A and B are shown apart, each in its own frame.
Chain A
Amino acid sequence: MTQHPILEIKGLHKRFADHHVLRGIDFSVAPGERVAIIGGSGSGKSTFLRCMNFMETPSEGEVWLDGTRIGTERNGRVTYPEKQLCSVRERLGMVFQQFNLFPHMTVIQNVMEGLVTVKGMPKAEARRIAEAELAKVGLSEKHDAWPGRLSGGQQQRVAIARALSMQPEVLLFDEPTSSLDPELVGEVLRVINTLAGEGRTMLLVTHELGFAYHFATKVIFLADGVFHEVGTPDEVLKNPQKPRTQDFLRRFGEFAF
């Protein structure tokens, strides 16, 4: 029996004014799948990810989470009630390129915030969970530090702990290492890899093709707002069939040694 998808997208379009970024995407993720989304800048890969948890509102198309259609359709117009979006976002954790930690809160407060404010959890219990998540990303000793005092890699690990604290069913990573100094990339990728080992469902937009190869169960090459090529890491990254994919990968490998 095939498992029913945790997340499903049908006919997704996204336009910004007269800029047509996503041009009809159908997509589904089964529980435990790890999907890497690659593509050139401006290909729409971040926008695609951001449509899943409604950081961007789709211009057209349907998003289904665990068998439930998100939004209410009336007279051909879809509206998204805030309550429903909040619960969707609670269930789909997101990690951003720029971390987006709250600078006026300490590390542990950042991780506790969703538990206390969104889930209404007592502080003591939230603290216990936050401590466990921080231990998982290897930052137990930084509880009371201000985010601004941490390195980029440490900040991103706090952001991952913050996303994990909500016990999301799916994790969305939007270029999590793109704004890091090269020597800090590894510590973040190692954390993501640990999460992969736990069988979590994850979507990763990335330029780290080597990591994508080892991490993903499925790779998507996005170009011109459509899925240009989809397959296993071996199929897409080692034996791409389409010239456009081949060209993209060749440019990445140009200065390999």
Chain B
Amino acid sequence: MNYTPDFSVVWANWPVLLRGLVVTIEIWLPSIAMGLAGGFLIAQARLSRRRWLSGGSLVYVELFRDTPVLIQLIWFYYAFPILVGVQLSPFAAALLGLTLNTSAYASEIFRGGIKSIHRGQMEGALAIGMSRAQAMRRVILPQVVKRMLPAFTNRTIEVAKMSSLASVISVHELMYQGRLLSSTYYRPFEILTAVAFIYLVLIYPGTFLAGRLEKHLARSS
């Protein structure tokens, strides 16, 4: 192998990669935030005694868990507009797909967490006069979040990585820019290595902080 790597192509194009990174973050963080919120609501529906609610949310969860994410993103870009009669931008389609996908996975994490908290916790909260919503917010959720933090961290990381799939519906995020640059300059080795490295730098601090937070929260138990 007598290939001489030349990373100057990466330096020369850093504004392009940076723009891609910004778009990646713009898909990643909102879809995590909205996905977690949606997941909490879907978990409530799953735990409901009303059949149509628990059944409906089960179907929702399985649809997203048992089909490839790639298909989901492409579907929201090409198929969903036919259904609703409104064309989505690639960015909107990716954001919608990733948000709904995250909500399905997050709902299972919430559901498992809520079920793992002993019934006595809810009763202890109700017995001092709390409403169900107050009990959920003050007593159940803090314990669920603590117990489920590793699962939520994994999901967050997973979504950061999944966001690269948005490149196939030409969202101008990091992966898209990387592929564009590598085919423009015929320097896939340097550029794709740099892109992978940027993902690593983006994701690792999250993993690190979550580990610290977990230790911090473990004090009380």
Contacts and interface: CB of A to CB of B under 8 A. Distances in A.
Given A96-B120, A101-B124, A114 B130 contact: yes
A121 to B, nearest CB: 12
A163 B121 CA distance: 14
Contacts of A104: 142-143, 146, 220
A117 B138 contact: yes
A55 B123 contact: yes
B143 A103 contact: yes
How big is the A interface, by class?
Answer: 20 to 34
Contacts of A101: 124
A118 B130 contact: yes
A103 B138 CA distance: 12
Contact of A96 (B127, B134, B146): B127
Contact of B129 (A86, A96, A102): A86
A130 to B, nearest CB: 12
Given A90-B129, A118-B128, A118-B129, A98 B221 contact: no
A98 to B, nearest CB: 5
A207 interface: no
Contacts of B130: 86, 114, 117-118
How big is the B interface, by class?
Answer: 20 to 34
A70 to B, nearest CB: 14
Interface residues of chain B: helix, strand, loop or mixed (majority): helix
A114 B128 contact: yes
A100 interface: yes
Interface string A90-118: 10011010111111101000000110011
Given A87-B129, A100-B121, A104-B146, A117 B220 contact: no
Nearest to B135: A117
Interface string B125-137: 1111111101000
Nearest to A166: B128
Contacts of A96: 120, 123-124, 127
B121 A162 contact: no
Contacts of A98: 118, 120
A89 B128 contact: yes
A82 interface: yes
B139 interface: yes
Contact of A103 (B125, B127, B129, B220): B220
A126 to B, nearest CB: 12
B134 A117 contact: yes
A148 interface: yes
Interface of A: 53, 55, 82-83, 85-87, 89-90, 93-94, 96, 98-104, 106, 113-114, 117-118, 146, 148, 159, 162-163, 165-166
8 contacts: A55-B127, A87-B129, A102-B139, A104-B143, A104-B146, A117-B134, A118-B134, A146-B221
